[in-house]
């Protein structure tokens, strides 16, 4: 869990530019009549039950992105209310106490969250479209129409085979039968993420064998071999084919938004992740790319995915991994247990052998740490990743450890309180009050569950570890320490037991 939240964190950095691009679209003056339907706990279920297709925005009144979205959403609702196939847009104040039941039913974790509910709410789909009025309209018109588009002419085909996107086309001798039905199920299931088409005539399709006999599924993609065919029709096999085939051998990451859907897929994949960060403008770019591609080919289907990121777009990742520009070109592998492996100043010819060493278990994990401070004489002691073991786990002391972030306001308010707590234990050699900058040091995720800042943990001299969730007051913290601390005698007897 901690791991996946970390990935989300990194992804956030990766896509932040791209998201802020569309939410910053200029707000238009709202009209007097409201087209967005307001729903709450008293009428949500009944209203949704009557809709074949409805979009619901879960928002909170205080949320800035919600405020930016509101005029765009309203404008989209007004356009869609008069469309040939009208679409209803609704909103729920998920911050309202009585509406929280609905929000938790739909697993709302952030604001705004948009969901598409189909067939009276029996099918729930994530809204993955843009957030400007025009983009919302286009996306919803497509989502509310049929999941797959019939390709009847070469013009139809060239209008849907896009140079930036994945398109999945089913070729059938007739639009009936179990294989066609399974293809339709596939399209319904994955329509939020891919475009689908179906045709009776394989010759209309621009790539691939034009004499191939259907039924078959041809996936068009804007990278690598540009298309792939598949002839199994089990629904799960089809889903797997589409998901796997639509991942590029190397995912590129720079400021070009056409790569971003693939970057998101890369970070969502269950594989270990190799990331090569370099300056895309360097004259060695081609050498890196071709060597990296060879390696990626070699490990295809072996639980390792590959991304190449331009330093210009990767500042968030640099911060996350604690790497510096002078280490570029750098290759990093992050495994699913949260371990990181890193090779700074890598050269094209070293990539293959380093990845092989990693696979063979011959590379030591990398731990992000600030340097151990030479002077550490403030009342609250500074712990870094490299001194965590010695100062906290092996010191034999009762340790209160604060995980903080430099930018966190609550941490700043806590600082003078911790200073006072530390001062009151100054002459007590068995108690240590300490802090660690959790943004600059890797925290062992299997030991500490740090979801927000500040987080306080207490480790007693006998090794018991508990999270402190009492009042953040001087007396509250001191009482807690005194109640939970172990004495040296207890420590001795614990040793004997072991």
Ligand X SMILES: *[C@@H]1O[C@H](CO)[C@@H](O)[C@H](O)[C@H]1NC(C)=O
Interface residue list for ligand X (CB under 6 A): 37-40, 42-43, 47, 178-179, 182, 233-236
**Which CA distances in Å does 143 have to 28, 125, 170, 266?**
25, 10, 19, 24
Radius of gyration over alpha carbons of the chain, in Å?
28
Q: Looking at beta carbons only, is 46 or 283 nearer to ligand X?
A: 46
Q: What are the start-end ranges of the H helices in 369-427?
A: 388, 409-424
Torsion over CA of 400, 405, 410 and 413, rounded to 10 degrees? 70
Measured from the CB atom, the residue of 24 and 43 that comes closer to ligand X is 43
**Cβ distance 411 to 418 under 8 Å?**
no
Q: How far is the CB of 114 from ligand X (least distance, A)?
A: 18
Residue in 15, 55, 66, 323 annotated catalytic? 66
The CB density around residue 281, as the number of other CB atoms within 10 Å, is 9
Q: How many CB atoms lie within 10 A of CB 151?
A: 24
Q: How far apart are CA 209 and CA 12, in angstroms?
A: 41
Q: What is the rounded distance in angstroms from the CA atom of residue 451 to the CA atom of residue 460?
A: 22
Catalytic residue among 411, 421, 436, 438: 411
Provide the minimum distance between the beta carbon of 342 and ligand X in the complex, in angstroms, as a whole number.
42
Whichever of 47 and 453 has its CB closer to ligand X, that residue is: 47
The two three-digit tokens of residue 338, written as one number: 């949260």
Cβ-based nearer residue to ligand X, 37 or 192: 37
Place of tokens 């990121």: 309
Distance CA 271, CA 263 (A): 13
d(CA 251, CA 298): 15
**Cβ 65 vs Cβ 170: under 8 Å:** no
Instruction: Give the up-direction half-sphere exposure of residue 491: CA atoms within 13 A in the CB hemisphere.
Output: 16
Taking the least distance from each CB to ligand X, the nearer of 230 and 448 is 230
Please state the closest distance from residue 100 (CB atom) to ligand X, in A.
15
Q: What's the closest the beta carbon of residue 217 comes to ligand X, in angstroms?
A: 11
Which of the following is catalytic: 408, 415, 440, 478?
408
Minimum gap (Å) between residue 215 Cβ and ligand X: 9
For 432, list phi and psi in degrees, rounded to 5: -130, 130
Residue 408 among the catalytic residues: yes
- When the beta carbons of 66 and 351 are compared against ligand X, the nearer one is 66
**Integer Cα distance of 202 and 329 in angstroms:** 45
Cβ of residue 177: shortest distance to ligand X, in angstroms? 8
For the bound state, the minimum distance from the C-beta of residue 261 to ligand X, rounded and expressed in Å, comes to 26
**Which residues, in sequence order, are CB contacts of 314 under 8 Å at separation 6+?**
14, 253, 277
Helix (H, G, I), strand (E, B) or coil at 133: helix
Residue 329 gets which letter from DSSP? S
Q: Which is nearer to ligand X, 87 or 436 (CB)?
A: 87
CA 397 to chain centre: 38
Residue 66 designated active-site? yes
Catalytic annotation, pick one of 11, 63, 192, 372: 63
Q: In whole angstroms, what is the distance from residue 403 CA to residue 79 CA?
A: 49
Q: How far is the CB of 29 from ligand X (least distance, A)?
A: 22
282 is known as an active-site residue: no
In 172-287 the beta strands, taken as DSSP E runs, fall at 195-199, 216-220, 227-230, 251-253, 272-278
Interhelix angle 64-81/133-144, rounded to 10 degrees, is 60
Q: Cβ distance 429 to 384 under 8 Å?
A: no
Catalytic residues: 63, 66, 408, 411
């Amino acid at each position: 869990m901690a791991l996946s939240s970390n990935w989300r964190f990194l992804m956030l950095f990766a896509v932040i530019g791209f998201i802020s691009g569309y939410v910053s679209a200029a707000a238009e003056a709202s009209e007097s009549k409201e087209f967005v339907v307001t729903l709450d706990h008293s009428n949500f279920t009944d209203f949704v039950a009557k809709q074949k297709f409805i979009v619901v925005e879960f928002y909170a009144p205080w949320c800035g992105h919600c405020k930016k979205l509101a005029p765009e959403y309203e404008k989209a609702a007004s356009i869609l209310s008069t469309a040939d196939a009208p679409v209803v847009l609704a909103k729920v104040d998920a911050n309202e106490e009585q509406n929280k039941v609905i929000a938790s039913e739909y697993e709302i974790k952030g604001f705004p969250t948009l969901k598409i509910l189909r067939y009276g709410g029996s099918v729930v789909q994530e809204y993955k479209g843009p957030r400007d009025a025009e983009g919302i309209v286009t996306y919803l018109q497509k989502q509310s129409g049929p999941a797959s588009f019939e390709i009847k002419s070469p013009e139809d085909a060239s209008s849907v085979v896009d140079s930036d996107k994945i398109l999945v086309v089913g070729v059938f001798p007739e639009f009936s039968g179990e294989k066609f039905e399974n293809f339709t199920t596939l399209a319904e299931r994955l329509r939020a993420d891919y475009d689908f088409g179906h045709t009776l005539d394989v010759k209309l399709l621009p790539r691939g064998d034009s004499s191939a006999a259907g039924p078959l599924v041809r996936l068009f993609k804007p990278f690598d071999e540009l298309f792939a065919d598949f002839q199994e029709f089990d629904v799960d096999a089809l889903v797997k084919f589409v998901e796997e085939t639509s991942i590029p051998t190397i995912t590129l990451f720079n400021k070009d938004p056409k790569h971003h859907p693939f970057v998101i897929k890369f970070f969502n994949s269950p594989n270990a992740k190799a990331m090569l960060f370099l300056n895309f403008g360097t004259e060695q770019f081609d050498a890196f790319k071709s060597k990296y591609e060879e390696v990626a080919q070699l490990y295809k289907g072996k639980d390792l995915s590959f991304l190449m990121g331009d330093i210009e777009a990767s500042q968030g990742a640099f911060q996350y991994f604690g790497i510096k520009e002078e280490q570029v070109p750098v290759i990093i592998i992050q495994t699913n247990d949260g371990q990181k492996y890193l090779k700074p100043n890598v050269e094209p010819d070293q990539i293959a052998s380093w990845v092989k060493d990693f696979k063979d278990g011959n590379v030591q994990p990398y731990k992000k740490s600030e340097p151990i401070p030479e002077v550490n004489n403030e009342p609250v002691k500074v712990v870094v990743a490299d001194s965590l073991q010695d100062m906290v786990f092996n010191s034999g002391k009762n340790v209160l450890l604060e995980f903080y972030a430099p930018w966190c306001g609550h941490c700043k308010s806590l600082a003078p309180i911790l200073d006072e707590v530390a001062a009151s234990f100054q002459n007590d050699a068995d108690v240590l009050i300490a802090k660690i900058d959790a943004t600059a040091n890797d925290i062992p995720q299997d030991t500490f569950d740090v979801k927000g800042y500040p987080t306080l943990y207490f480790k007693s001299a006998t090794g018991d570890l508990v999270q402190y969730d009492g009042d953040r007051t001087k007396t509250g913290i001191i009482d807690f320490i005194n109640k939970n601390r172990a004495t040296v005698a207890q420590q001795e007897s614990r040793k004997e037991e072991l």
